[in-house]
Every structure is written in structure tokens, then in C-alpha cells.
Amino acid sequence: MNDIHILVTMPQHAVFRTFFDADAMAALEHIGTVHWNTLGRQYTQDELGAAVRGMDICVTGWGTPVFDEAVLAQADRLRLIAHTGGSVKPYVTDAVYGRGIRVVSGNEVFAESVAESVVAYALASLRQIPYHSVNLAGGIWPESFANRGLLDRSVGIVGYGMIARYVVGMLAPFHCPIKVFSRHIGQDELDRCHMEKAELEELFATCDIISIHSGMTPENHHLVTRELLQSMKPGALLINTARGAVIDEPALCEVLAARPDLSAALDVYETEPLPAGHPLEKLPNVLLMPHMGGPTVDRRLAVTRSVTQDIRRFLAGQPMSCEISRSYAAKMSAY
């Protein structure tokens, strides 16, 4: 393996250190000769092209330039791109797959962390944790309260991919009846997880909690319409950790303002960062989070371990745990 040359594009700054400690760096250096980005900043497109020449494997991170035709023209030995993020969509082009270059990512680790955030947001919203914490810090003890729990609540899942599968598993201890809207889910998966398939109209009208997991494709733009939002049952909670534009955001603001019985926990928005003075900021029935549902800092080393193990599998000619196909990459939201 000493003839293997590995380029790590991530500059060695604060974010780098959350993905690479001494053990993670040593594990990669045990595989082959590692070329670290020592510029203190991201490569430019031209610099990436020059750096990738002679490399067998490229380990990428957030902010890496795209592997376009100009970069790939210099990638004379490149066989694998291993991305420490979730989605490879901002970095990998069709030309990568056209050259037979394989692609892996930390998507599975990311998916599990996003699923954890869904459960956290549900509990925080239902139990009104932020509201009561702020009040108590201000010296206000409630005369009464009407918070709710997650146990036995019906849950609707919109879109069924890797994150949704983890969500379903994490909900098991709460014994929630689950309905799923998906264009692709099979009956075997529904039966295995004791779930029911449903159309969007039924799901929004009957579920206590609705969790959005659809990718941002043209067909999913404003998939959640004003009509669906207006049809939500009294007291329902909407959670979105997918992409902001899956929901008609102006309609969401208006429906939440008109129906204070509804609530929402939002981690993503049509425009990010959320513009100052946005109508969502004024709504008391919304939990706002700054697109941080992905891996917590303490889980980023797990991403690196997963990617490094897939590099070992690739070199050994074994199946990789999180290989990203061309068709799947095209469907992935940018994370």
C-alpha cells in the first residue's frame, strides 16, 4: 500500500481538527502516502487540479472545489473520491462517474445524527422546553402548563431514505404508529417496521407529528402545499430537517400565524441564513434551529473512521459501506 497516494483537500484549520485527530491522521497515513492541504485555506479550482495529479484517492470536505472536467483532466491516477460530508452533489460531477472514479461519503453517519435531531426537536417542541426554560430564567413560574409527549403519538414520514429509516428505528421505544409517504418504499420494508403507506393528504390530515425527509428535487419543490398545511389535525407538529423549499414557506408562515394550535420545528429554510426580520421569527409556535441537524461535533471523527474504513475496503476489492452511485448522487440534497 506504500504506493498509494492520498490527497486530503480539507485545510488544517478548526473544522479539520474536528474530523482529524492524531489517531485519524495516523490511520490514513498507514494506508499510503498522505498529502495534506497545508495552505490554511481551501484550494482554488486550479490548485485542486494541480494537487490531484498523481493521486490515487482524494479525501474531500465541505468547501472543496468541484471535480469538473478541468480538474479531472489532471487526475491521471484518481480512482476514489472519499467525501467526509454527507451529500457529494456540490463536488462530484457526471464526469467523475464517466471516468469510472468511485465515490463514497459519510452519509450514513450523517443520516443517523440527523435522525437523532428529529427526535430531539420533537421532544423539545412537544414538551415546550425552550419556552419554559426562557420563562423560568426570567423568573416566571407557570401557573399551569399543557405540554405534550412523544409516546404513542402518530407520526407521518414524508420521503423514505436513509435518515427516515434511522428515525423509524429511534421512534421504536416511543411505540408511535407510523405512516409513510414514499414513491419507492416496498411492502417488505413497511411490514418489517410495522408501518402503513399513505398518500400525503391522508398523512397530513391524520398524523400528530409530520417529519419531512424528501430530497430537494424539482418534483419536490413546494411538495408541502398550503392546502396540506391547512389540513393538519389540531395540535399537530411539523418537523423539517430536509430542505426548506420542500415546504411552501410563505404559506407555512401564514398557516402557523392563523392556527396557533399547530407548531413547527424547522432546521432548514428556503433562504439560509434565515433573513433578519423573517416572518418565522415572530411566531411563538415555531422552534427555529440554524441548519445544525447533521453530525454533532463529537460525531465527526466517526465520519472520518467510516470513510477511512471504506478506503481500506476499496483497496482490498471489497464492497464499501457507503458508496454513492451516480443516480443516488443526483437525488441527494446538498449538505
Tens digits of per-residue pLDDT, 148-174? 999 999 999 999 999 999 999 999 999
pLDDT at 330 exceeding the cut of 70: no
Task: Judge contact between 64 and 10, C-beta under 8 A.
Answer: yes
Cα–Cα distances in angstroms (integers) from residue 94 to residues 44, 66, 142, in the given order: 20, 11, 57
291 catalytically annotated: yes
Predicted TM-score (pTM) of the model is 0.90
Q: Active site residue: 99, 272, 281, 326, which one?
A: 272
**% of the chain at pLDDT higher than 70:** 97
Position 137 pLDDT exceeds 90: yes
Query: What pLDDT does 326 receive?
Result: 82
Mean pLDDT of 197-204: 98
Catalytic residue among 243, 249, 270, 300: 243
Q: Is 221 a catalytic residue?
A: no
Categorize the per-residue pLDDT at 331 as very low, low, confident or very high, splitting at 50, 70 and 90. Answer: low
Beta bridge partners of 102: 80
Residue 243 annotated in active site:
yes
Lowest-pLDDT choice from 175-184, 224-233, 324-333: 324-333
CB 259 within 8 A of CB 236: no
Percent of the chain at pLDDT exceeding 90: 92
User: Does residue 76 carry a pLDDT above 70?
Assistant: yes
Catalytic residue among 291, 299, 312, 313: 291
Are the beta carbons of 280 and 288 closer than 8 angstroms? yes
